[in-house]
Chain A
Amino acid sequence: QSVLTQPPSVSAAPGQKVTISCSGSSSNIGNKYVSWYQQVPGTAPKLLIYDNDKRPSGIPDRFSGSKSGTSATLGITGLQTGDEADYYCGTWDSSLSAGFYVFGTGTKVTVL
């Protein structure tokens, strides 16, 4: 069971904006960098955001990330049909003596 909670699904019309929340705790999001991944079914996840708000080369600025306290948020503006996918947050957790990585529960984005 994941320690990072995301809404199961979000939806919006093309051109609109969606936000996806990722709720954690002081042992993970509260003290670690958060990353976000996009996964089209049947393919490998793709890194969208790292270090809370940085975009790798090639990721459009329609995708943005932010963090406040023990929660993080992914924003997608100018929604496109190609954005339909599952999205996951991820970060390290230090609640045990040996750190471990955790992924969020995942959010399915539907473009109406």
Chain B
Amino acid sequence: QLQLQESGPGLVKPSETLSLTCTVSGDSISSSNYYWGWIRQPPGKGLEWIGSIYYSETTRYSPSLKSRVSISVDTSKNQLSLKLSSVTAADTAVYFCARCPVGEFDYWGQGSLVTVSS
């Protein structure tokens, strides 16, 4: 049974870098033929795709976040990571990691709330 679990600080100060980790169990990030991605949802708002990574190398990012985001994989720990720099209050959201076989996200983590505030 594939499981994803997000972890990281729940509070980040403005202008700092948000860092989250997604631990994957039940599948290997490096060997599977899937994209692995991050999606966020501001309080009371809709879903926003942040970016995805394929075969631990190929990345795709949201055009609106591309200048601030980085997604990588730690194959030794089977973890996906997200870094979002220069955060503002607008980056306050629940952050989800998910697996993307082709055109859909089929397995999701439970989500991690990150609040940007001083």
Binding site for B on A (CB under 8 A): 2, 32-35, 37, 39, 43-47, 50-51, 56, 86, 88, 90-92, 96, 98-106
Contact with A along B25-58 (1 / 0, CB 8 A): 0000000000001010000001111001000000
Q: Is the CB of A101 within 8 A of B46?
A: no
Q: Which residues of A contact B52 (CB under 8 A)?
A: 101
Given contacts A45-B47, A47-B104, A90-B103, 15 further A-B contacts (CB under 8 A): A35-B104, A35-B105, A45-B105, A46-B108, A47-B106, A50-B102, A86-B46, A88-B46, A88-B47, A90-B105, A92-B103, A102-B49, A103-B46, A103-B47, A104-B46
By a CB distance below 8 angstroms, the chain A residues around B103 are 32-35, 50-51, 90-92
Q: Which residue of B lies closest to A52 (CB)?
A: B103
Q: How far is the CA of A35 from the CA of B103 in the complex (A)?
A: 7
Q: Which residues of A contact B37 (CB under 8 A)?
A: 101
* Known pairs A45-B96, A88-B46, A88-B47; A99 contacts B60 (CB<8 A): yes
Bound complex: CA of A32 vs CA of B50, how far in Å?
A: 19
Given the complex, which residues of A lie within 8 Å of B96, measured CB to CB?
A: 44-45
Q: List 24 A-B contacts (CB under 8 A).
A: A2-B46, A33-B104, A35-B103, A35-B104, A44-B110, A45-B39, A45-B47, A47-B105, A50-B102, A51-B102, A51-B104, A88-B46, A90-B49, A90-B103, A90-B105, A96-B63, A100-B49, A100-B60, A100-B61, A100-B63, A101-B52, A101-B60, A102-B49, A103-B39
**Chain B: interface secondary structure?**
loop
Task: Decide yes or no: A90 and B46 within 8 Å by CB, A44-B96, A44-B109, A100-B63 being known contacts.
Answer: no
- Cα A43 to Cα B104 in complex, Å, equals 18
Q: Is B117 an interface residue (CB 8 A)?
A: no
Contacts of B48 in A (CB 8 A): 103
Kindly state the separation between the CA atoms of A43 and B108 in the bound complex, as whole angstroms. 10
CB distance from B73 to the nearest CB of A (A): 18
B63 to chain A, nearest CB (A): 6
CB of A36, distance to nearest CB on chain B (Å)? 9
